[in-house]
Structure 1
């Protein structure tokens, strides 16, 4: 098949392979040059798989199939019946596969040019696996059929699962993902959006991981002091943070070990992202705990526009008995000391 431009334009022609490659721009990319994500349109109920007795039926529908280097095979087809479920094995269960096949003689040498559905019978086994079409076959899976052994009801008791079915969207569209396979696939560009139906949340690709707004992430802060910086030694410093818009929630735990050194002067803890220069001081909760001794309650304080926070705790019962935490306040730092904090603040950006 060859397409030509109107007579009033310079004469150009494209073969079917070139047209399919251009059609790849209509669908979500798969991270390869000119590649696309094949599947059925998200939300399209077509190509549903069912059975009547042992006869498999597939409703009509449309979608796109792809092959490396071949672009987009768009298709639409009426309802079909790819066949009858084969008799069950006496001992073992098996898994059959229903898939949509694109026949392209120029690529698969199958002698045909059409779309069709196929029922591929699996191999009975104590641990049955989904069968795989031959390497030359251009296809997308539609469903699996779990066929128990004859003692479990056989072919007439088989069950159909569509979790293997893949959907696709236009470039920039929000792809719903449900299967473990789809959920595990990395994004193809920073900022890509998807909807994780298992979590019930929209997620975004950061360039290295999928995350939703409000997901917590680890952060490695800088623990410093006014005069001489502390050393963690065999202690531990664990923090987590999240953001929703410009709202930051930051929490952490500092556990001093036997080789930790509190340095000299007031302690500061770096923030995962700088605070807004809003003219407002932000306060959260903090607790300096000394095992088998006391808990000194107070607040974490972040100044307007700051990139670090300090800790203020009550050291006694009178009104003036509050001080900033350091290597000597509220008590001398030791391996029995623990510092906890939690604060919400506005980010600069």
Structure 2
């Protein structure tokens, strides 16, 4: 069922109540990249969302496996509902991301959902080599490998 929120005169049904309850609900998240798509292989890819008030809060977790492939281009993860349009095309819904390189350390980051977009993209304020802000990909914020972890969380207004 597409997200419409609770409107005056809406009938309360079990499905509608579940939709606005704030309960974490799994969804089939797609992991893509702008050039060549990665493949989760024997890793774990999970997406969950909760609708609270007029917001959709989304969590995406990725545990890389030994047969995970990393694709090329900027990583993107599908949202359960498209985001609402904002007042300017360069405005974004902003959240947090973390990456664990098991061989080294945790890397903090942000994630962004563009105005009207259907995907969330993880970004770093700097790269592992000190470069400027950039979207995460197979080599950023480090070169991904087996047992590495990626987490995203963002709240946005559904369209």
In 2 relative to 1, CA 239–284 (structure 1 residues): closer, same or farther, beyond 3 Å?
A: same
Count of residue pairs the alignment pairs up: 145
Do residues 297 (structure 1) and 105 (structure 2) align? no
Contact conserved, 1:310 with 1:324, CA < 8 A, in 2? yes
Contact conserved, 1:315 with 1:323, CA < 8 A, in 2? yes
Contact conserved, 1:296 with 1:315, CA < 8 A, in 2? no
In 2 relative to 1, CA 219–276 (structure 1 residues): closer, same or farther, beyond 3 Å?
A: same
Per-residue Cα deviation, 1:173-196 (whole angstroms, up to 9, x for no partner): xxxxxxxxxxxxxxxxxx864xxx
Q: CA deviation at 1:282?
A: 1.1
In 2 relative to 1, CA 336–322 (structure 1 residues): closer, same or farther, beyond 3 Å?
A: farther
Report 1 or 2 for greater relative contact order, CA contacts < 8 Å, sequence distance ≥ 6. 2
Point out where structure 2 has 5 or more consecutive residues left out of the alignment.
1-9
Trace 1:1-349 onto structure 2 (pairs within 5 A): 193=12, 204-206=13-15, 211=18, 213-278=21-86, 279=88, 280-313=91-124, 314-316=126-128, 318=130, 320-348=131-159
Point out where structure 1 has 5 or more consecutive residues left out of the alignment.
1-190, 194-203
Per-residue Cα deviation, 1:260-298 (whole angstroms, up to 9, x for no partner): 001111110011100011133111000011114111111
Structure 1 SS opposite 2:97: strand
Contact conserved, 2:128 with 2:140, CA < 8 A, in 1? no
Q: Match of 1:160?
A: none
**Cα-Cα RMSD:** 2.0
Contact conserved, 2:101 with 2:144, CA < 8 A, in 1? no
| Structure 2: distance between partners of 1:248 and 1:268 | 17
Q: CA deviation at 1:316?
A: 4.2
Q: CA deviation at 1:321?
A: 3.4
Per-residue Cα deviation, 1:303-334 (whole angstroms, up to 9, x for no partner): 0000011110232485x433211111122221
| Structure 2: distance between partners of 1:333 and 1:227 | 17
Structure 2 SS opposite 1:206: helix
Per-residue Cα deviation, 1:237-279 (whole angstroms, up to 9, x for no partner): 1121011243110012111100000111111001110001113
Q: Structure 2 length normalisation: TM-score?
A: 0.83
Q: CA deviation at 1:336?
A: 2.9
Contact conserved, 2:79 with 2:120, CA < 8 A, in 1? yes
Q: Structure 1 length normalisation: TM-score?
A: 0.39
| Structure 1: distance between partners of 2:106 and 2:158 | 30
Per-residue Cα deviation, 1:4-43 (whole angstroms, up to 9, x for no partner): xxxxxxxxxxxxxxxxxxxxxxxxxxxxxxxxxxxxxxxx
| Structure 2: distance between partners of 1:322 and 1:316 | 11
The structure number with the bigger radius of gyration is 1
